Structure 1
Amino acid sequence: MPRKERPANTPDVKTFDAEGYKILVGESARDNDRLTFSVAAPQDLWLHVAGMPGSHVIIRNPDGGEVPRTVVKRAAELAVFHSKARAAKGKVEVHVCRACDVRKPRGAKPGSVNLRRWEGVKVYPPDVV
């Protein structure tokens, strides 16, 4: 039986919902790149654990308005859960910025990015997602 293949540039993402906002989580470095630079709109929020490998997380924000803190906190917990910081005992810092403030350095490995401006949010790692 032939294997069903997905298109080469379709990212493999997990989708979550928080208060009506769609949250997307990348599953690999290549998927993170596609999620951040092909799927995310400029007004969407982008999250990632500070200083450690982990998934890129996008909060879809089609209206471009302010995203509730509870939604940002939930997305930050997902970023921690899908990173090397999952087993941390204390709070973990997560960078939050608009997707348009995320840049890919020339020649960088998949998943590597630079942020023009960002804010930090500290959350405890969730036990389960």
Structure 2
Amino acid sequence: MTERTESGRHRPDPPRVWDYIISGGHRVMAGKTDADNDHLSLKVAGPNDWWFHVRGMPGSHVVLVADGDRPPDRKTLNQAAAIAAYHSKARSGGVVAVSGTLARHVTKPRGAKPGTVQIRKERIFKVRPALPEGY
């Protein structure tokens, strides 16, 4: 469902996401559908947020919200990558390769299907699929 703005235009619903707080108090969001992934990756994520997706299989786009100008440490990046692996078809496979990059390096090709993006300056994380403790 959409709502109308004052100008009469329709405003799309906010994306439906799984929302997590990981060590250090960092927020991680994972999209639930292709349309949610698009909105999360291209509209919600800030340029300094980190973006993750399992390599070579379907799965959620995952965004680690930046903590100001301070870059996240390796443990935080690995936890966010493990969440991306968990929200993918690779959930039951041992160690999984997950692509990560700053959200500023994520773009949508013209005319591409929802959930399809291109990334630059990719970094590969090898992690076991997992949710943070307490979820």
Name the TM-score, length of structure 2 as normaliser.
0.85
Q: Indicate whether 1:31 and 2:36 are aligned.
A: yes
Inter-partner Cα distance in structure 1 for 2:107 and 2:19: 23
Verify the 8 A CA contact 1:15 1:24 in the aligned structure 2.
yes
| Alpha-carbon distance in 1 for matches of 2:69, 2:108 | 23
- 1-structure distance, mates of 2:108, 2:63: 16
Deviation beyond 6 Å, 4+ runs, structure 1: none
RMSD: 1.7
Q: What secondary structure does 1:85 align onto? A: coil
The alpha-carbon deviation at position 6 of structure 1 amounts to 6.7
Against the structure 1 CA distance between its residues 9 and 35, is the aligned structure 2 distance closer, same or farther, given a 3 Å change threshold? same
SS at match of 1:84: coil
Q: Does the residue aligned with 2:91 lie in a helix, a strand or coil? A: helix
CA contact (8 A) 2:31 2:62 kept: yes
Residue 58 of structure 2, aligned match among 53, 59, 67: 53
Which residue of 5, 9, 14 maps to 2:13?
Answer: 9
Mapped partners of 1:64, 1:127: distance in 2: 26
Asked if 1:95 is matched to 2:109, the reply is no
**Identity, % of aligned positions:** 40
User: 1:34 Cα shift?
Assistant: 0.2
**Match of residue 73 from structure 2:** 68
- Structure-2 change in CA distance of 1:25 and 1:6 (3 Å): farther
User: Can you give the 5+ residue segments of structure 2 that lack an aligned partner in the other structure?
Assistant: 4-11
Secondary structure class of the residue paired with 2:98? strand
